Amino acid sequence: MGIDEKVWVELLTTQEVVAIGLRTILESADSPFPITTIGAEGAEPDVVLYDVIRLQVDDGAELDHWLTETGSTVIAVARSLRPDLGARAVEKGVEWSIDLDITAAELIRVIQDAMTGHLEDCPPVHGMDTDAYPGAAAGLTLRESQVLGLVAQGLRNQEIAAQEFLSINSVKTYIRTGYRKIGARTRGQAVAWAIQHGFPTSAVERSPDEKVE
């Protein structure tokens, strides 16, 4: 799949040298598509590279904004010496990360795969703390795990959408792909699987045999 329009990558870091380095790579590397790090006022970037070091000085509200109030793909810039900051990013909902020693060619590949929806198959990209959430061993993404956890707590699709700031169609997609990965066809089967695999659950039980929508 080709990329015809210019891709806007927003760089968020507290360290000038990191910003300059990433910007230089993005704007000067040999890329099959045009990239900019400056976008139109009021518009949303296509990709946000969020350096987790910002969480030292930010309460996380900024990261919440990018994850829940925009359509931008958020990729964390991980810090190997600060796994605590990576864990905070995971708690906020970040699913993907890159390392600071990423090469120019690898970074361009990351942006391309972010735009075409293939980050899961992108070698330079890491899943954020794959053992830090239930269902990771079964191949669930962090979002799928979060949605399945809310299903297990008895929430309906619309309630999940409202709580997670997602569209109802996105919730249905996460449910469908999550169910497929765990071999469930109904909510009852999904809840039973979740209980067996350490998801926090609720006493609320609704439509145990409801099929995937």
The 10 Å CB-count burial string (b at 16+, else e) for 169-178 is eebbebbebb
Is 90 exceeded by the pLDDT of residue 201?
A: no
Q: Can you tell me the mean pLDDT for 15-25? A: 95
Q: Which fold has domain 136-196?
A: Arc Repressor Mutant, subunit A (1.10.10)
Instruction: Considering the chain, tell me which residue range(s) the CATH 3.40.50.2300 domain(s) occupy.
Output: 7-127
Q: What is the pTM of this model?
A: 0.61
Q: Can you tell me the mean pLDDT for 24-30? A: 92
SS3 state of residue 163: helix
Q: How do 47-51 and 73-77 pair as beta strands?
A: parallel
Angle made by CA atoms 27, 30, 31, in degrees to the nearest 5: 80
Instruction: Considering the chain, tell me which residue range(s) the CATH 1.10.10.10 domain(s) occupy.
Output: 136-196
CA-wise closest residue to 22 among 109, 127, 107, 111: 107
Q: Is pLDDT larger for residue 204 or for residue 175?
A: 175
Please tell me the class of the 7-127 domain: alpha beta
